[in-house]
Amino acid sequence: MSSELERMLDERRLTRIRADRGLICKALRESEADLSEAKDSLERGKFKWATIQGYYSAFHAVRALIYRKGFREKSHYALLIALRSLYDEELGMDLIERFGNAMTLREAADYGTTSSEAGAKETMEAANALLNKAKKVLKI
């Protein structure tokens, strides 16, 4: 276990849970629904919402992976740390970095009111890749 993951547990930003297939499947359904909404928002030129919805699609796909390993996050940052610590080999750092970038784009859209078509597309592409990879890793 990485020292960062241990720190997240110590700070209670991550907690241990029993891996639950129902919870995992629910997270994947949320990911699919958010990705669909993001596509609709992008088509309507709603780049802020497409970015936010795309990120939440990625968020729920990552959550499903973390649930499988018996963890639940209490913050977005803790989810990123858990992903890095638990899935670096299975996913590769490029995909993990794409999740981190989607997180940054969502924060900018949500709090900084900065969004763009390019950022929305980037976030949605990362979400789609994470969802597909999560399904493959989880065999769902």
Asked whether 54 and 102 are in contact (CB, 8 A), the reply is yes
**Per-residue pLDDT for 113 more than 90?**
no
Q: What is the CATH number of domain 3-138?
A: 1.20.120.330
- pTM, rounded to two decimals: 0.96
pLDDT at 1: 72
pLDDT band at 71 (very low <50, low <70, confident <90, very high): very high
Residue with tokens 């992008």: 42
Q: Which two tokens stand for residue 129?
A: 């890749």
Query: What is the rounded distance in angstroms from the CA atom of residue 123 to the CA atom of residue 125?
Result: 5
Q: Which two tokens stand for residue 123?
A: 């976030």
- The predicted model gives 60-65 an average pLDDT of 98
Containing 14, the helix (H) or strand (E) segment is strand 14-16
Name the DSSP class of 127: H
Closest CA to 66 of 15, 136, 106: 15
**Per-residue pLDDT for 104 more than 90?**
yes
**Per-residue pLDDT for 124 more than 80?**
yes
- List the domain boundaries for the chain: 3-138
pLDDT band at 140 (very low <50, low <70, confident <90, very high): confident
pLDDT at 112: 84
Query: What is the rounded distance in angstroms from the CA atom of residue 118 to the CA atom of residue 36?
Result: 18
pLDDT band at 74 (very low <50, low <70, confident <90, very high): very high
pLDDT band at 44 (very low <50, low <70, confident <90, very high): very high
- The predicted model gives 74-87 an average pLDDT of 96
Asked whether 60 and 27 are in contact (CB, 8 A), the reply is yes
115 phi, psi to nearest 5 deg: -150, 160
